[in-house]
Chain A
Amino acid sequence: MTNKVKIRLTFLGALINWLLFSASNIYLLFIESYEMKVQLADFIPQLFFTGFVISTFAYYRYVISKADTLNFTDLLWKVFITGLITTLISLGIRFFFTVFANSSIVESPLTVNFFYNILLGLVIIYMVSTLVVWKRLILYQKSKNLLQFWGFFEIALFLSLGYDFLNHELFGTNFNIGLIVLSCFSLILVFNLKWIAYLNFKQKWKGILFILLSAIYLYHFFLNLDDFRATGALVMDLMDSVFFLGLLGFLFLYAGISILVTLFNLPTSSVFERKLKEAIDFQKLSQSIPRGETIDQTYEILLESSMSAVFADAAWIEVKEEDGIFQSIRNLKETEINNIKSKIKSGTIKDILSLEFDKDHNPSKLTDSVKDSKYKSIIALPIHVQQRQIGFIVMLNEVPEAFNREMVNIITTFVNQTSISLENLALIKESLENERYKEQLKIAKNVQKSLLPGELNMGTNFQVDAFAMAADEVGGDYYDVIEIEKDKYGMIIADVSGKGTSAAFQMAQMKGIFHSLASQKVSPSQFNIQANIALSNCLERSSFITATYFDIDANEKTIEFSRAGHCPTLMFCSETNETKFLQSEGMGLGIVRNSNYAKYVHSTTLSYNEGDTMLLYTDGITEAKNEKGEQFGDDRLKNSFNSHAKKAPTQIKEAIKRDLAKFTGEVAIDDDYTMVVLKFNANNDG
């Protein structure tokens, strides 16, 4: 059943019950006056009356609970209007009796009872509707106990309706017991007045007016009913009912207490309103940046909120921003600001105004007095972002000692909220920026990866496998092999000093140099001399590159190499099962940047056999440290290589990597490291 249907049904129920009540009442009158021999139990009108009361109660409950969003003054307005309509009708009845005062018609019990029934209906409608509204007010911010207690009260009221069937004598013992029980309930319930605190000043006045009028209606009804009672012609007198008197007492009592409490709350309502405004301002501040307002707008909100919170006569805010200083002033001239700044010579406020405030300072000195100024009181608060003071806010008042601790606390909360908002904004910006850098680095990493050779498939003469790892996203290690002509190869390993992005750029240059020089079939010595000239023009003075260039001739089975300051290559001899470093003189590229460099260049030629294996590497491997700070070193590398050198290049590479990882353990290798393994095959041509 929808609420609408319920409202209609209860309305219909109330109407029918009232009609039946009136009919049976009049009917009883007929029986009495004409002494008819028709039986009709005396309790029948009372029964319909009960039905009428319950239906009306249900009707108003549905009507008022439907209007869930109504505020308190609207609720009181409803009571007032219902009261007004019912009172106007009852006045109409009164008017009728006054007009026909001398006529016999008004003396007829039939007329009296007829109008009395109408009045009774109006009174019940008004009282029940008021009860429902009072219930809403009492149960505002309800606890479980209160809710239960109200439930008992409603049951007690319902029982009192039943109690009235027994026709107790007015103010007899039984009657009084019933009345006392209801009064006790009322007394406890009427002190639930929390809703009053939520009215503002104007609403409080309205509330007092409406409740007062409601009480007057009640009193008026009471007088009216009493007049009818005086005629002595009533079949059923409402005044004899415990229910009626109990309910009337409750409604009166609550109206009276509400008026008094509202009246006494009037002077403090401005404080409550201010607190509410502070809460709203606070919310405004915390939402201003997420709402997309600019930082400057947030400062304006902070200034406005703070001023109204402490009743400041004038104020200003100053914040250091990336593009100068943001300043916003209220009711103040620039000259006065400078005057105040010059008047405050020491203490916390001085530090704050000169942006030198340290959070460890004593915060109790945030208020002070100003001499020789229109403004006698000052509050200054620093604005911090990420532990750094970026600005301050100043409140001024013409009254001496106008600011108290509580005011400082309020603005402190405002300022803190602003700082949090600003910090969040900074963090978001930072993380977006970082995200962009990461994206850029990812691209750089991919680009660099493409600079290193992919598959090293060198035909039948030898097999090569390599591995390169950068300490950062990008690194400065380089290796490459190209076939210059049939069975002749150029190979390089190089290491740019330093690591990271700048090293990565030099590494790209090295690739260019390698490809252009190697294809010109230069000798290893010439390669280093030419490369040194090329790099001398473009390397930073503190940067250099170490490299070793190899010329491999698969027909002659010879290797010619020239070492430019790079770590010596390891050579495994398959005949002797021995590994040795290919020592030779040499100097790093870019160290000597003139023709003298040629003096330091040497080249060595050696021949190789099938199964011989070379290990080219960068110093990232030999300088890798374990947790004791020891380096992996030449000897460990040599032994590791020697023990695996009979395997295929890929297996050798993996085995050395494993040995290295075992040595370093948890310690991350903080340099780029690279290795190239080359194993010579049998010469198929031969």
Chain B
Amino acid sequence: MVNIEKEKKENIHFIRVSGDVDAGSSIHLDNAFKEGFEAGESKVAVDLTKLAYISSAGLGVFVSYLDEFELKKFKLVLFGIQETVRQVFDILGLEKLITIAENEEDAIKKLNG
């Protein structure tokens, strides 16, 4: 199961994901993205510190927002990715498309800097 918390801090829309994101639970992640996107949040930081596993369907959520973020010049940063999850991002090639920060501070710096 996945648990998603949203937070607005320093003009940044934080999405904190914990648990597993698989085909069934990816819809929750998608809803969190959609909400921020429709609210016009131009800076989005996704906290993946507590994300244990993400399936290809979960990755699809990130993929589906890539174009729209680019089109609107919105910024997206992921941070706190664990090694196993990081590998999945790397293999797929997503690390070349999405900015990945080490930690929250780094993410804020990348978004607001």
Contact = CB atoms under 8 A, between A and B. Distances in A.
Contact of B91 (A565, A590, A592, A631): A565
A497 interface: yes
A492 interface: no
Nearest to B24: A670
B93 A588 contact: yes
B12 interface: no
A161 B91 CA distance: 112
Nearest to A596: B97
Contact of B92 (A498, A543, A546): A546
Interface in A562-587: 565-568, 585-587
A600 interface: yes
A345 interface: no
Interface of B is mostly: helix
Contacts of B40: none
B23 A499 contact: yes
Contact of A497 (B57, B66, B96): B57
Interface residues of A, number: 29
B67 A593 contact: yes
Contact of A619 (B23, B30, B56, B97): B56
A588 B92 contact: yes
A586 B64 contact: no
Contact of B64 (A499, A542, A585, A619): A542
A567 B91 contact: yes
B59 interface: yes
Contacts of A567: 91
A208 B103 CA distance: 102
Contact of B67 (A500, A541, A566, A588): A541
Interface in A525-583: 541-544, 546, 565-568
Contacts of B64: 541-542
A238 interface: no
Interface in B49-104: 52-53, 55-57, 59-61, 63-64, 66-67, 84, 88, 91-94, 96-97
B93 A587 contact: yes
A671 interface: yes
A623 B20 CA distance: 12
Contacts of B88: 619
Nearest to B22: A670
A529 to B, nearest CB: 14
Given A498-B23, A498-B56, A499-B23, A565 B61 contact: no
Interface string A667-682: 0001100000000000
Interface of B: 22-23, 30, 52-53, 55-57, 59-61, 63-64, 66-67, 84, 88, 91-94, 96-97
25 contacts: A495-B56, A498-B57, A499-B57, A541-B67, A542-B57, A542-B61, A542-B63, A544-B59, A544-B60, A546-B92, A565-B91, A565-B92, A586-B93, A587-B94, A588-B94, A590-B63, A591-B63, A591-B93, A591-B97, A592-B97, A600-B93, A600-B96, A619-B88, A670-B22, A671-B55
